[in-house]
């Protein structure tokens, strides 16, 4: 068993878990943050995307023990003071979701895209970078539209890594 401590959504948390526990399961089961979804456990679908030390990562491909000491942001940590993050608001305004299962991973991936590319983010880049995120409902059109709207809304400002 491993005792691990990390910062999740701005607050320090600790827990004990089996050495082979995936970060996605630690987040969901130990911390009760169920917005991070388990879709495939093979790093194919992107439903489990979180930010670890400012980088977008698939939490089903990392052991919880490997994240010890890291700063983690989950979908629950994006909204501030009751206000949706601009990417979340854009997904809502542009109907970038249907069933919602992939949405947390899509939003977290989009936030990272905007952080890295800023106003240089275009449709071709969005589509290429979404290859690691699977949506079985929407056909991606409104997801891409929402991400590009968020770029416009934020002025394409490159944000510092979390």
Copy the structure tokens of residue 96: 């970038």
Same domain, yes or no: 56 and 117:
no
pLDDT (mean) for 88-94: 96
Copy the structure tokens of residue 98: 């249907």
Whether residue 45 has pLDDT greater than 90: yes
pLDDT at 40: 87
Question: Which residues, at least 6 apart from 135, have a Cβ–Cβ distance to it below 8 Å?
Answer: 98, 102, 106, 143
Question: Rounded distance, CA 143 to CA 149, Å?
Answer: 10
Confidence of residue 161 (pLDDT cuts 50, 70, 90): very low
Question: Rounded distance, CA 112 to CA 54, Å?
Answer: 8
Per-residue model confidence as pLDDT tens digits over 17-42: 999 999 999 999 999 999 999 998 78
Confidence of residue 81 (pLDDT cuts 50, 70, 90): very high
Same domain, yes or no: 30 and 61:
yes
pLDDT at 60: 96
CA 2 vs CA 58, 61, 125, 145, 162: distances in Å = 21, 18, 39, 43, 25
Q: Are 118 and 150 in contact (CB under 8 A)?
A: no
Query: Where is the domain boundary, 77, 106, 123?
Result: 77
* Residue 116: inside a domain: yes
pLDDT at 17: 96
Per-residue model confidence as pLDDT tens digits over 60-80: 999 999 999 999 999 999 999
Query: What's the CATH number where 56 sits?
Result: 3.10.20.30
Handedness of CA 55, 61, 66, 67 (dihedral sign): positive
Question: Which residues, at least 6 apart from 94, have a Cβ–Cβ distance to it below 8 Å?
Answer: 142, 145, 146, 149
pLDDT (mean) for 130-141: 90
* Residue 66: inside a domain: yes
Number of domains in the chain: 2
pLDDT at 91: 96
* Residue 63: inside a domain: yes
Residue 19 structural domain: 2-77
Residue written as token pair 């030390």: 53
Same domain, yes or no: 101 and 60:
no
pTM across the whole model:
0.93
């Amino acid at each position: 068993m491993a005792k691990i401590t990390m910062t999740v959504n701005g607050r320090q948390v600790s827990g004990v878990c089996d050495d082979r526990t995936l970060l996605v399961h630690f987040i969901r089961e130990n911390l009760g943050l169920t917005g991070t979804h388990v879709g495939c456990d093979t790093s194919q679908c992107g439903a489990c995307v979180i930010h670890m030390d400012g980088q977008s990562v698939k939490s089903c491909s990392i052991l919880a023990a490997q994240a010890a000491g890291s700063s983690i942001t989950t979908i629950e940590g994006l909204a501030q003071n009751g206000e949706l993050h601009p990417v979340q608001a854009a997904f809502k305004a542009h109907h970038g979701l249907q069933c919602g299962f992939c949405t947390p991973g899509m939003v977290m991936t989009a936030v990272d895209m905007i952080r890295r590319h800023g106003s240089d983010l275009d449709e071709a880049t969005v589509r290429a970078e979404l290859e690691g995120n699977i949506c079985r409902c929407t056909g991606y059109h409104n997801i891409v539209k929402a991400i590009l709207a968020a770029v416009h809304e934020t002025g394409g400002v490159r944000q510092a890594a979390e």
